Structure formats: structure tokens, C-alpha cells
Amino acid sequence: MSKKPKKPPLSAPQSADDWLGQATVLSEAMPYMRRHAGETFVIKYGGHAMGDPELADMFARDIVLLRQIGINPIVVHGGGPQIAGMLERLKIKSEFIDGLRVTDEETIDVVEMVLSGSINKQIVSSINAAGGFAIGLSGKDGHLITCEKVKRTKRDLDSNIEKVLDLGLVGEPKEVNPHILALFDESDITPVIAPIGVGPGGETMNINADTVAGAIAKAVGAKRLMMLTDITGVLDKNGDLIAEMTADQAKAMIGDGIISGGMIPKIETCLGAVEADVEGAVIIDGRVRHAILIELFTAGGAGTLITPG
């Protein structure tokens, strides 16, 4: 005679008020779950959220939950601090130009090893351990991302001559093949993508993870691009969080200098996505527990949502 299966252990606290509160949260989230079911979300994962073990575990469980309620998540991850740490241990010098790491042949080997190797497989393992089914990829797999070399120029202040800067093996997406990602979608598999691509000559190229996430969101027609960062979101001139803005408002804030520095390329990635028919792009504070769920399933959200207008 088979034994009756035991219920999974319940986490404390377990009072009636606690269960009522959880039931209320689920009830209020239900309309959002129905609204997003069947849609594709591209999630750029990086920063503190990826470096903190507790937040990383929560992220993995949140990705599994999204898949279980019918959302199709595509994860694109970064890894700048981990690359810097490995380069330092190997005594390989590295420099940045306009926020992009100059990448020679020696450096690209380390970049690919860290991104496609240790980081990618760690994220995949965490999602699988949380009950999901994830597979790691880079842009080199299945012709997913073909690149062209990034071009940057700088004007010399003394001669007023514009010089071309060589960043080495740094690319930007030229073409994203959405068909391989569609196969994963149909199989309920969550792809986890390292920002490595293939150059025009077949060479391996390092790509900014934000840029990759934006390019993939456009290629697959994602409903939303979600960028996990180490900041609260976009702040107004008084330092208050802006919960939602249009693309035109975001451009105006860049022009006025309210959005500045490292936030500009992130906003430009979001703008590129919404101008390519992505319904919305949101900058989320990845330091907040369950930030993705708060953004998607509550009225208040957890960051700054940019919409086409």
C-alpha cells in the first residue's frame, strides 16, 4: 500500500494572517499574470543581483516562476567584475574606452572563458536547481549573434583632428537569429545567453551585455526588455524615482542633462527597443528582493518603465 505523499515543509511564519496576506498578494497578481501569459520577456541580468548569492538564488526561482505561469523569459547576463578579477589574477592589463573594455586576442580568451564558462553555467545550474530547465548559450551558438566591429572616434583637442579608436575584438550586434530562440520557447526551455558573438571573419567578439539584450528583444519581438541594474531607476532633478516615462520624455531628459553618465547608454538601449515595437523597457533595481516579480505583478512596479509614447 503506497504511502500518502507528505506535504512540502512550510516556511515560518505560518499564522492565519500570514496565509491570508499571501493569498491576497496572489489574488492581486492574477490579472497581471493573465496579461503577460504567452509573452516573451528579455531580462538583462548583472550587477549586484548577480554577485549576491541570496539575490542570485531568488533570481533563479523568479525565472522558474515566470516560465511556470506561461511567460517566456530569455536571460542575457553580464560579468564585468568577474572578468576584471580573472584578468587581474592572470596579470593581464586591461583598459576601457567610453565604457567598453579594449579586447585583444589574449583578453578575448579570458572574456569568453568567464562569460560562456563559469558565469553562464552557474546561472543555468541555479535555474535548473530551482526546478526549471535552462540551457546556456553564447552568440556563437547556432549563428545567434553576428557582429561588426565597434567604431569609436575621439577628437584631439589640440589639432581638432578626429581619430579612430581601436577597441580590438569588441563588437556590436549586426544580426540576431531569432529562430534558435523560438525553438527553445516551443520546448519550454529558458535560454541563458552570454554576450559573445561572431565577427565578420569568424573571430570571437566581446559585446556589451545591455546591447545584446536590446538586440535580442528587438529580434524576437519581446513584450518587454528588463534591465537589472545597481540603481533605483531614473531619477528626476529632485532625486525622486520616475515610475514611467515615454520615449520622448527620456530623450528630453538626456538633452537637459537629467539623465547623464553611465545611465545614457542604458536608456539608449531601452529607446532602441521601444522604437522597434517592444511594448516597454524597464530599468529595475536588481538589489531589491524579487524585483522582477514586483515590477511585473504589482501596481507600483520596481523601477522606471519606458514606453513608446
Distance from C-alpha of 190 to C-alpha of 134, rounded to nearest angstrom: 5
φ, ψ at 95 (rounded to 5°)? -135, 165
Query: What pLDDT does 10 receive?
Result: 45
Query: What pLDDT does 2 receive?
Result: 42
φ, ψ at 61 (rounded to 5°)? -65, -35
The reported pTM is: 0.86
Q: Are 149 and 170 in contact (CB under 8 A)?
A: yes
Query: What pLDDT does 33 receive?
Result: 67
Query: What pLDDT does 152 receive?
Result: 77
pLDDT greater than 60 at residue 221: yes
pLDDT per residue as tens digits for the range 259-289: 888 888 899 999 999 999 999 999 998 888 8
pLDDT greater than 70 at residue 163: no
Angle, CA of 95, 53 and 57, to the nearest 5°: 120
Distance from C-alpha of 249 to C-alpha of 236, rounded to nearest angstrom: 11
pLDDT per residue as tens digits for the range 6-39: 444 445 556 665 655 555 556 566 666 677 778 9
Q: Are 103 and 206 in contact (CB under 8 A)?
A: yes
| Residue 304 amino acid letter | T
The arithmetic mean of pLDDT across residues 142-159, rounded, is 80
Domains of the chain, earliest start first = 37-307 (3.40.1160.10)
Give the single-character DSSP code of 121.
H
Q: Helix, strand, or coil here: 163?
A: strand
Mean pLDDT computed over every residue of the chain? 85
pLDDT per residue as tens digits for the range 87-121: 999 998 888 877 778 888 999 999 999 999 999 99
Residue whose grid cell is 512540502:
8
